[in-house]
Amino acid sequence: MSEEKKELSQAEKICMKMDKIGKKILIMSGKGGVGKTTVTVNLANALTEAGFKVGVLDTDIHGPNIAKMFGREGELLNQDVSTGEILPVITDNGIKLISLSFALQDPTQAVVFRGPLKLSVIKQFLADVQWGTLDYLLIDSPPGTGDEQLAVCQNIPALTGAIIVTTPQSVAILDAQKSVSFAREVKLNIIGVIENMSYLVCPHCNEKIHIFGKDGGKKLCTDMGITLLGSIPMEPALEETEDNGENWIKKGESVSGTAFREIAAFIEGTVKPTCSADIGYIPQKDDCTPSSCASCTENCPSRKKG
């Protein structure tokens, strides 16, 4: 009797793809416009500069900005004809990008999707994209704790953790607390908080101006027992660079660039890669070998000997 190869379920495909990626990190915030996409893009560039292989998944279905901020607006996704997999758009420095905007002919077109459709798009991006072996997958998200964040948390087995982005003012902090409670509810490790737009350096007198108040992020972290990963100042040139789709990290020394590099180094030094076997999810996969799994450790129950 011939042995037919079993068709993998979508969950199994996701599991196998995600196990080839060391650290899968969700970037989230309670409030809109606080800098999630900025953090995603700059951390991706800082990690790439440090020699890591990085992918970025844009789960912001209604307001995707990843393509624009990486300067790849207008590009369309292709398919690998031999495997049927979706090929990510790859930046000049090698970052693999996936966003629904790469499937739209017109970047101004509104995407009118209800929850189930968003869930199915995100699952397809996890299961059917040729991600390959990566050190990091950074997952940008829209504001809040809705369908997109749940889709990520419920479908990536052993999601490594979340980075919560906030600005210092109390409305943003209040909303950031909701992101913290969401992460705790779904048992997602909180890697830490990044306070963005912490201050502006006056171009005339070089004094720091705390436009949105001072130390809101620090207080949030103290009150909720979370790590403050860093504070990023407002830098008009950063905004302009992002608008032009250029790499801010590569542009040279800046306070925010240094902060992003330090945060990237801290994450690399303190956050361990995660694998589905860590949580006993679909263990003993047939093709599991140290080279197929980005986070393979000596004591992994799925690891093949020899």
Ligand X SMILES: Nc1ncnc2c1ncn2[C@@H]1O[C@H](COP(=O)(O)OP(=O)(O)OP(=O)(O)O)[C@@H](O)[C@H]1O
Query: Residue numbers of the site for ligand X (CB under 6 A)?
Result: 29, 32-38, 60, 63, 65, 142-143, 196-197, 232, 234-235, 238-239, 242, 256
Q: Which residue is nearest to Mg ion (CB)?
A: 37
Q: Is position 37 an interface residue for Mg ion (rule: CB under 5 A)?
A: yes
Q: Is position 42 an interface residue for Mg ion (rule: CB under 5 A)?
A: no
What does 42 bind: Mg ion, ligand X, none (CB cut-off 5 to 8 Å by kind)?
none
Rounded to the nearest whole angstrom, what is the least distance from the CB of residue 273 to ligand X in the complex?
A: 26
Rounded to the nearest whole angstrom, what is the least distance from the CB of residue 217 to ligand X in the complex?
A: 13
C-beta closer to ligand X: residue 200 or 224:
200
What does 35 bind: ligand X, Mg ion, none (CB cut-off 5 to 8 Å by kind)?
ligand X
Rounded to the nearest whole angstrom, what is the least distance from the CB of residue 60 to Mg ion in the complex?
A: 5
Rounded to the nearest whole angstrom, what is the least distance from the CB of residue 13 to ligand X in the complex?
A: 28
What does 242 bind: Mg ion, ligand X, none (CB cut-off 5 to 8 Å by kind)?
ligand X
C-beta closer to ligand X: residue 48 or 198:
198
Q: Is position 179 an interface residue for Mg ion (rule: CB under 5 A)?
A: no
C-beta closer to Mg ion: residue 36 or 261:
36
Rounded to the nearest whole angstrom, what is the least distance from the CB of residue 177 to ligand X in the complex?
A: 16
Rounded to the nearest whole angstrom, what is the least distance from the CB of residue 175 to ligand X in the complex?
A: 11
Q: Is position 166 an interface residue for Mg ion (rule: CB under 5 A)?
A: no
d(CA 191, CA 258): 19
Rounded to the nearest whole angstrom, what is the least distance from the CB of residue 192 to ligand X in the complex?
A: 17
d(CA 203, CA 208): 10
C-beta closer to Mg ion: residue 36 or 53:
36
Q: Which residues, 44 to 83, sit near Mg ion by CB under 5 A? A: 65
Q: Is position 241 an interface residue for Mg ion (rule: CB under 5 A)?
A: no
C-beta closer to ligand X: residue 195 or 278:
195
Rounded to the nearest whole angstrom, what is the least distance from the CB of residue 209 to ligand X in the complex?
A: 13
d(CA 289, CA 203): 55
Q: What is the DSSP string of the chain?
A: ---PPPPPPHHHHHHHHHTTEEEEEEEE-SSTTSSHHHHHHHHHHHHHHTT--EEEEE--SSS--HHHHTT-TT---EE-TTT-PEEPEE-TT--EEE-GGGG-S-TT------HHHHHHHHHHHHHSB---SEEEEEEE--SSSSHHHHHHHHHSTT--EEEEEE-SSHHHHHHHHHHHHHHHHTT--EEEEEEEEEEEE-TTT--EE-TT-SSHHHHHHHHHT--EEEEEEE-HHHHHHHHTT--TGGG---HHHHHHHHHHHHHHHHPPP--GGGGTSS-S-TT--TTT-TT--TT-TTPPP-
Q: Rg for the chain (alpha carbons), in Å?
A: 19
C-beta closer to ligand X: residue 37 or 295:
37
For residue 98, report the phi and psi dihedrals to the nearest 5 degrees. Answer: -130, 130
d(CA 119, CA 252): 39
What does 238 bind: Mg ion, ligand X, none (CB cut-off 5 to 8 Å by kind)?
ligand X
Which residues contact Mg ion by CB under 5 A?
A: 36-37, 65
